[in-house]
Amino acid sequence: MKIFLETERLILRQFTETDAELLFQLDSDPEVTRFTKLGDRSRTPTSYNEIKNEFLPKVLRYYQEYPGYGFWVTIEKSSNKFIGWFHFRPGLDSYMGATLYQVDDIEVGYRLQRKMWGKGYATEGSKALIRKGFLELETQQVVASALSENKASIRVMEKVGLKFERNFVYSESQQAGVKYTLSKDDFNLNKEC
């Protein structure tokens, strides 16, 4: 198990090939994926085969292609249990890619088990990744996006110091979204993370 980052209450480690079942269980809760299945009104869970054969191999490639960036299994220290994941990855490699992000944009995001919501874990993990990005990884700008109706994620973006940049529309689903950003210069001025 290769640990990438620790916070007061969380351990973020690299994914392994054996993590497919954890991801499948996480994505099987329709409330967890409510704001992630753009255009999929049925909110059909991601299949185990899709996770194992498509998502997980892509996640594992990040560690070689983008050193210091990628997806991270998140463990709650007090229970030593899987609670979800965070990502800190090149924005151009995200779902929206060049439609929304610039070359130097690094996207922060997460997916946590519903029973872990409201405990501040999304804020804690995101702050730690942003801080590591600016102080250790030469990140120039951190970005995040969410559906406009996803008020909880928007609050997290604001708590970690990202500022509203613009509204947009997801092309496939025609749903309204928002983009938030934080530049390295603004981070250094405010030291919010």
More confident residue, 35 or 21: 21
pLDDT (0 to 100) of residue 39: 44
Say how many residues make up the chain.
Answer: 193
Task: Write down the mean pLDDT value for the chain.
Answer: 89
For range 46-50, the mean pLDDT: 89
Q: pLDDT digits over 88-101, tens only?
A: 999 887 766 667 88
The domains found in the chain, sorted by start residue, are 3-190 (3.40.630.30)
pLDDT (0 to 100) of residue 4: 95
Give this prediction's pTM. 0.90
pLDDT (0 to 100) of residue 174: 83
More confident residue, 141 or 102: 141
